Amino acid sequence: MPDLAEAGSISVEEYLAGEAVAPVRHEYVAGEVFAMAGATEEHATIAGNVFALLRAHVRGSPCRVYIADMKLRVAPASAFFCPDVFVTCDTRDAAEPLAKRHARVIIEVLSESTEGYDRGAKFGDYRRLESLEEYVLVDSRSRSCEVFRRRPEGWLLDPVPENGRLVLQSIGFECPLDALYEDVVFVQTEAADTA
């Protein structure tokens, strides 16, 4: 199969058919396909921690938690994304095996290569989901977490204090920031070593 990222503009149907056999994940935005990069240990550990915490919280409820391999379709943007973690509580998503459509919470783990996109264009596309109530950015390079909440007047930023608690009002969840960063060891940079 040709590399989807080199295929140029393709249809949604071509994208989904290619993804069914592709050895790596891709995101799709308005006919363009982008290969997903691998994750660092810190990134993978944080995403795993978030998934485990949220999965335990929603157990027994109509909500479901998905990790990076499940696609999220943002139809108004003609896009399919692979969020690091997301929660849907909409029963219509149970009938969608390939891609969910009604995320209530999306969590992205920031890295140097994705931070600008996750804060900018991708967040712009996510905001087009009527179901989305909270968007969380967790840094993989330092202890930093931000929650954006949908309000009638727009999106409100609520940073989590370094020793504070992550609160997700839309699903009644909270945990200490320490739980997100459990088993994460930050790699010191050369600049920090010379300081």
Strand intervals (E) in 8-164? 26-29, 32-35, 64-67, 71-74, 79-81, 85-88, 99-100, 103-110, 134-139, 145-151, 154-160
Q: Which residue has the higher pLDDT, 27 or 178?
A: 178
Instruction: Yes or no: say if 102 and 72 are a contact pair by the CB < 8 Å rule.
Output: no
- List the strands of the sheet with 32-35, edge to edge: 32-35, 26-29, 79-81, 71-74, 99-100
Alpha helices by DSSP H, the chain: 12-19, 41-58, 115-119, 121-126, 177-180, 190-194
Q: Pairing state of beta strands 79-81 and 154-160?
A: unpaired
Average pLDDT over residues 24-42: 85
pLDDT at residue number 2: 38
Structural domains in the chain, sorted by start: 24-180 (3.90.1570.10)
Complete edge-to-edge strand list for the sheet that includes strand 85-88:
64-67, 85-88, 103-110, 134-139, 145-151, 154-160
Distances (CA, A) of 89 to 34, 63, 103: 28, 4, 7
Banded pLDDT at 16 (limits 50, 70, 90): confident
| pLDDT tens figures, 108-157 | 999 998 899 999 999 999 999 999 999 999 999 999 999 999 999 999 99
Does 44 score more than 60 pLDDT? yes
Tokens of 72: 């999220």
What pLDDT score was predicted for residue 20? Answer: 85
Confidence label for 19 from pLDDT (cuts 50, 70 and 90): confident
The residues pairing with 174 across neighbouring beta strands, listed in sequence order, are 167
More confident residue, 108 or 11: 108
Q: What percent of the chain has pLDDT over 70?
A: 92
Reported as type and span, the H/E element at residue 165 is strand 165-168
Q: Are 99 and 71 in contact (CB under 8 A)?
A: yes
Contact 99, 111 (CB under 8 A): no
pLDDT at 1 over 60: no
Tokens 């199969």 sit on residue = 1
Q: How confident is the model at residue 31, as a pLDDT? A: 86
Residue 17: closest CA among 1, 34, 31: 1
Three-state secondary-structure class, residue 28 = strand
Q: Per the confidence metrics, is the pTM higher than 0.75?
A: yes
